[in-house]
Structure 1
Amino acid sequence: MVAVAWYAWHCILLLAEVYLRVGGGSYSDIGLRLYGRWMQYAVISSIVLAQIGGCCAYTIFVAQNWRSVFNAVGGHRAQLSTEFWIVAQAAVFVPLALIRQIRYFAPVALVANVLIIASLGYLLGFDVWHIAAHGPAPFANYNPARFPLLVGTAVYSFEGVTLVIPILESLHDKRGFARVLTIAITLCLGLFVCVGSLSYLTFGELVNPVVLLNLPDTSAWTLLVQLLYSIAILFSMPLQLFPAVRIMEDMMFTRSGRDHKYVKWQKNLFRTATVLLISLIAIYGADRLDNVVSLVGSFCLVPLSFIYPSSMHLRAVARTRWVRAKDWALIVVGVLTMVYVTYISIATWGGGGGDLPPS
């Protein structure tokens, strides 16, 4: 986690340096300026796939929490599947996906952040109490078969490179960007390590990819936390999908739906179809959330977060032999990580690859 945090931090600074050197432009525009159309399309494709993949992971997460809450409240008499809750969730997700103005998501995003912070506080409190009362659960220091999934998950956790340029454009004093970035990533790293390690010490080998499902479902507080956290993630999904939909619409439609109702309904159908596609993918990966997250992290976000920024820095900024060698090293490590972790994420998908060797 520390290594991936440093990797993400460094590559974000590389992209910021490239942005300032070439004189602005979007992420894909910078790729176009430095390498041509193929880099522009590569950046756009990675952004779209990453946003859609993130929505798939969110959908599975919410569905699993809703299933747990409903089954507990119903006394486990009616066991509705995760797939059912994915379909039910689509009924909520579709109207939210039709919202055109991103500013409407601001109040909802603020409420979602508050709910997430409160839920994580409850989880950490439970972990500390349980370890103090019962001691740590038996644990393994290293799992060679599934360790690569952690690499993809860590990359997914520190994804944020697509926000670099919008943040830089909004800053009055761009010199403070590195300091703010360092503080933000350090806080995130501390939170991720605490939640991951304490929850594993609490539940041991029984730990669930969605750790909230490990909490005792006999507690009203646990059910409330699961419900509120899942609602927070549900309302975060339209914000996650928004950039991908806008990019695809700009490529598919030449006219605005504001003045042409027919075009507007075409876009509505396209957004609805996108949500249904996300639901279908989520149904396929309903029981493999850890693999879904790792696959999104390795195949979509490793290029976006590590390979592209290093490549752009190599072309636009690097002048000394040491800097060029460092950029090449970052590119090679990124490519090897993408290929290897993507392979492991797919190879262990069916559940039968638990003893798969790492090489």
Structure 2
Amino acid sequence: MMHQEQASATSQSQALDLPPPSPGEDTPFLGDAQNPPLSSQPRTFANVFIAVVGAGVLGLPYCFKRTGWIMGVLMIFFVADLAYHCMMLLVHTRRKLESMSEIPKITSFGDLGFAACGPIGRTVVDLMVLLSQLGFCVSYLIFIADTLANLYLGSNIWGISSASLCIWGCFPFQLGLNSIKTLTHLAPLSIFADVVDLGAMAIVMCEELGIIVKKMPNVRAFAGPSMFFYGMGLAVYSFEGIGMVLPLESEAKDKSKFRGILAISMAFIALMYAGFGALGYFAFGEDVKDIITSNFGKGFISSVVQLGLCINLLFTFPLMMNPVYEIIERRFHDGNYCIWSRWLLVLTVILIALMIPNFADFLSLVGSSVCCGLSFVLPTVFHLIAFNGEISRIEWNCDVGIAVLGVVLGISGTWYALAEIFMVKA
């Protein structure tokens, strides 16, 4: 399930007779949104898994096809380690800033941006969160449309793209779901969706092992440098969940063990991603499709798995849009609910999804253009600002190096992902 990403800080009401605030960036996934209990280590592990793992994993076999399987595996572990390091930078930065008496409690990525850089810091974080959340929701629609078209409709109906018809078919359904003011009661669906994702991945991997045992096609280990940047974008997308690190650390019962739990969680996810991507490529070789489930045809088990994923993403869509609504309504509607702006945003997502021809290419674009900034550039910049003059030369060089790497990967990956998208459309 898609990573359960992020937004900006939700203000606390001081009047006892006012209703509690709607879920925002600092809303926990497992527990009471208003009075979250402290999380045990297993619960923290589950929260990290929910925050990071998403439908982007289904594009990894196609990514391995483009990059080569050894390069793909190396990229997965490299990005996992880098993402973990930057997540801990946010935790250290929050602790440093909160130790200053004039800094209020920091509950979200947006709060941290404000504490480090003032209004411009919050604006940059809000903008990147908004773009990344919209990108996630666009990828949901692309997956749903491509899957339903492959299963039931074929490539076109009466000369009209069946995938486009499926996207438009989601429109009225999403208008209704996204009109709900409080989405807390939909949160259990996110947990259920992660269970379905794990089940789907297990079924897919078992099917792939059967195919590999019968006959393994020719595969390549490495591709050219252009595919490196393309693959890095998709890998970064797959590990996007950095916006939830601060609230997860806040609700951890034993904060001294949070670092270890986070490291174990990221290592487990990296192993799962690498295995899933490699097995998918080994099973289908150069014939692997941008959504791996499309390679399994229309058998009963395959159809049930794909339909279950589609249903889950339909209900996850409004949860992923909620941080966008929180940002827009806070900035333009004084924090008040506005149904028209929500409907307009849903329409915007629909129109973007109609223009994107390939699921994996779009994941790479979002990962490069936005997630690199959120995951690598902003954490290191905020860390440098908070610890100005207090860190060693090695730490300073490391922060600067990661920030530069994030910028290079962002620019290069965006360029190559756009080239792939326009090449497919042509």
Task: State TM-score, norm by structure 2.
Answer: 0.76
Tell me, which stretches of 5 or more residues in structure 2 are unaligned? 1-75, 99-104
Q: 2:258 aligns with which of 160, 177, 197?
A: 177
1:17 maps to which residue? Answer: 92
- Which deviations, in whole Å up to 9, do the C-alpha atoms of 1:289-308 show, x marking residues without a partner? 22211111111111111100
* Whole-angstrom distance in 2 between the partners of 1:142 and 1:349: 22
Q: Is the 8 A contact 2:93 2:383 kept in 1?
A: yes
Partner-residue secondary structure (3-state), 1:280? helix
Shift of 1:100: 2.1
Correspondence list, 1:323-342, <5 A = 323-342=395-414
1:58 maps to which residue? Answer: 140
Mapped pair 1:312 → 2:362? no
1:253 maps to which residue? Answer: 333
C-alpha change, 1:269 and 1:3, in structure 2 (3 Å) is same
* Whole-angstrom distance in 1 between the partners of 2:318 and 2:145: 16
1:281 maps to which residue? Answer: 352
State percent identity of aligned pairs: 26
Shift of 1:79: 8.4
Which letter maps to 1:294? S
Q: Is the 8 A contact 2:290 2:359 kept in 1?
A: yes
Q: How many residues align?
A: 340
Q: 1:107 aligns with which of 166, 188, 191?
A: 188
Which letter maps to 2:412? Y
* Whole-angstrom distance in 1 between the partners of 2:159 and 2:302: 20
* Whole-angstrom distance in 1 between the partners of 2:175 and 2:195: 24
* Whole-angstrom distance in 2 between the partners of 1:327 and 1:205: 38
Shift of 1:239: 1.5
* Whole-angstrom distance in 2 between the partners of 1:349 and 1:255: 37
Task: State TM-score, norm by structure 1.
Answer: 0.90
Shift of 1:230: 1.5
- Which deviations, in whole Å up to 9, do the C-alpha atoms of 1:143-163 show, x marking residues without a partner? 324332211110000001110
1:348 maps to which residue? Answer: 420
Q: 2:239 aligns with which of 139, 158, 161?
A: 158
Q: Is the 8 A contact 1:168 1:174 kept in 2?
A: yes
1:198 maps to which residue? Answer: 279
Q: Is the 8 A contact 1:310 1:328 kept in 2?
A: yes
C-alpha change, 1:124 and 1:78, in structure 2 (3 Å) is farther
Q: Is the 8 A contact 1:159 1:305 kept in 2?
A: yes
* Coordinate RMSD, CA, aligned: 2.1
C-alpha change, 1:255 and 1:128, in structure 2 (3 Å) is closer
Shift of 1:232: 1.7
Q: Is the 8 A contact 2:330 2:336 kept in 1?
A: no
More helix by share: 1
- Which deviations, in whole Å up to 9, do the C-alpha atoms of 1:169-203 show, x marking residues without a partner? 22232212111111211111111111111000111
1:37 maps to which residue? Answer: 119
Q: Is the 8 A contact 1:112 1:235 kept in 2?
A: no
Shift of 1:340: 0.8
- Where do 4+ consecutive residues of structure 1 move more than 3 Å? 76-80
* Whole-angstrom distance in 2 between the partners of 1:319 and 1:96: 48
Shift of 1:88: 0.6
Mapped pair 1:243 → 2:318? no
Q: 2:218 aligns with which of 107, 123, 138?
A: 138
* Whole-angstrom distance in 2 between the partners of 1:68 and 1:43: 37
Q: Is the 8 A contact 1:71 1:77 kept in 2?
A: no
* Whole-angstrom distance in 2 between the partners of 1:191 and 1:100: 36
C-alpha change, 1:91 and 1:353, in structure 2 (3 Å) is closer
Tell me, which stretches of 5 or more residues in structure 1 are unaligned? 258-266, 355-359
* Whole-angstrom distance in 2 between the partners of 1:66 and 1:220: 14
Mapped pair 1:224 → 2:304? yes
Shift of 1:352: 5.9
Mapped pair 1:297 → 2:370? no
